[in-house]
Amino acid sequence: MTKPLTVSEIKNYVEKAEESFWHQDCATCEIYLAYIIQLEKDSDQEGQAFLKEYKNPRDQIHSRLVCDPCSGGTIYAEYLMSK
């Protein structure tokens, strides 16, 4: 089993993702939410608590806007490949 992510590591991952957003709607995209959930699964309890503020209510989440390239999808895929 790998070591859980710390808040410091999570902040770096989230900042990298947010810097890559094409527009504001990326923050409520289902792809970005999947990335946040993956980070949450890989985090310690402190990291999980930190990530709660990045999880939007279900009624604010929208399906992928078909951005090309999808910055959230790219960041998520890079994260998964690095594991």
Q: What is the pLDDT along the chain (83 residues), one digit of tens a residue?
A: 589 999 999 999 999 999 988 888 888 889 899 999 999 999 999 999 999 998 888 888 777 767 778 888 889 999 999 98
Phi-psi category of 65—alpha, beta or left, where left has phi over 0 and alpha has psi -120 to 50?
alpha
- Quote the CA–CA distance of 31 and 46 in Å, as a whole number: 23
Domain-located, residue 21:
yes
Does residue 2 form part of some domain? no
Which residue range(s) make up the domain with 28? 7-82
Query: Could you tell me the two tokens for 13?
Result: 């991952």
Q: Phi-psi category of 70—alpha, beta or left, where left has phi over 0 and alpha has psi -120 to 50?
A: beta
In a domain, 1, yes or no: no
- Residues 44 and 41: their CA atoms lie apart, in Å, by 8
Q: How many domains does the chain have?
A: 1
Give domain status of residue 15, yes or no.
yes
What pTM did the predictor assign?
0.87
Contact 24, 5 (CB under 8 A): no
